[in-house]
Amino acid sequence: MTTAMQVRLDNTAAAAHWGKNALLSFSDSEACIHATAATGGTLVAVQRAARRLDGMGVADVVLAGDHWDLESRWSFWAGYYNPNRKSRLDWGIGEGDERTELEARRAASLWVREITNGTPENVFPRALAESAADMLQKLAPDAVSYRVISGDELLEAGFMGIHNVGRGSVRGGAMLQLDYNPTDSDDAPVDICLVGKGITFDSGGYSIKPSAGMAHMKSDMGGAAMVAGGLALAIARGLQKRVKLYLCCAENLISGHAFKLGDVITYKNGVTAEILNTDAEGRLVLADGLIAASEENPRYILDAATLTGAAKMAVGRDYNSVLSLEDEMAEKVLRAAGQENEKAWRLPLEKFHLEQIPSGFAEIANVGMDGTPGASTAAAFLAKFVRDEGRGWVHMDLSGSYLPAPNDQWAQGAKGHGFRTIARFLLDN
């Protein structure tokens, strides 16, 4: 006899005795979600109800009835996930396209959420790079090849950002270079490049964070996880274009070997950057990935990073932020997010922002002048490492990818919010 709770979905209000605008009602081993405008609409109501059922300790659920569809089933899983509990969810459908899509989403999202929630002791730079490579190679063993560059090889390859940020740790930085090539030709052009920030722990370096600000910095590799997860979902959906992935991984720690304020980094493309804040390290490692991506001359470059607190101040933790010097590139990501029911919002990036990161000792500094917009100047720094200072490039500042505390829709920790946007971007452009 099954112990699973059946969960039904209805678009009518609950009986009055359950309370005004009640989200859930119960009978025997069954729960009913009342998805009305008063409870947030279907997808929000379903996700909230899933959180409540998880909070009640319900660890085995089957979705029952005729009102479920692909997106409502997915919203339930997104809210039902709990990093502290291995709950079981039966989609309530048999084999077919819908189940295949749900399982592909679940596999990619689980990898993103679990590796982001992993401890910094276990998820160190090379471990992150190898985990992503292993996950993607299992999906497409004949189409995926990769190399991990670490240690002195970073210097030999000219990846000075990753090397400098990572040299404060005994576990130095690493770059994953992964090639997904489903064609039969090694000469096939690279269509799109993805670049992800993989700071597996961020102490802030000598610009040290307070404990409260450092407590969740295992999540500072969320950009690397998100682009890898997005590529995984796109592959599962049948992606047939060549994509290269660059994960820029390091730990930002303090030691006698750590980089310091006042240091100047000379990058492979000749740009020099003065360090005025060691806690603005994500852009330093991403620069290496953007240079490598630009050398491939793809049609498009997308990077993703948990880059700035300024983006979170602007849009909160419900939306991811999108920045580009080209309206068309920003619109491609915003459209992809809308089609995948993920939230994204454009923040400003103009040519004049590139003038707001001056240095007296280098071409640019790694932080903007006082009074300038932090998310915009961070993106402006990145533009200096993209071909033609930003052609065919879009930046996602993942303000909506992680929660320090749970809310009514998401468990504490990684949300995986953004990987579907990236998958859609890859498939539709």
Q: Which residues pair with 320 in a beta bridge?
A: 344
Amino acid in the structure at residue 186: D
Which residues are catalytic, by number? 209, 283
Least Cα distance to 292 among 181, 185, 395, 176 occurs for 176
Least Cα distance to 254 among 307, 301, 207 occurs for 207
Rounded distance between C-alpha atoms, residue 315 and residue 406, angstroms? 18
Are 324 and 348 contacting, i.e. CB atoms less than 8 angstroms apart? no
Are 59 and 33 contacting, i.e. CB atoms less than 8 angstroms apart? no
User: In sequence order, what are the residues at sequence separation of 6 or more whose Cβ sits closer than 8 angstroms to the Cβ of residue 364?
Assistant: 271, 272, 273, 274, 357, 358, 381, 384
Amino acid in the structure at residue 201: F
* Torsion sign, CA atoms 131, 124, 168, 199: positive
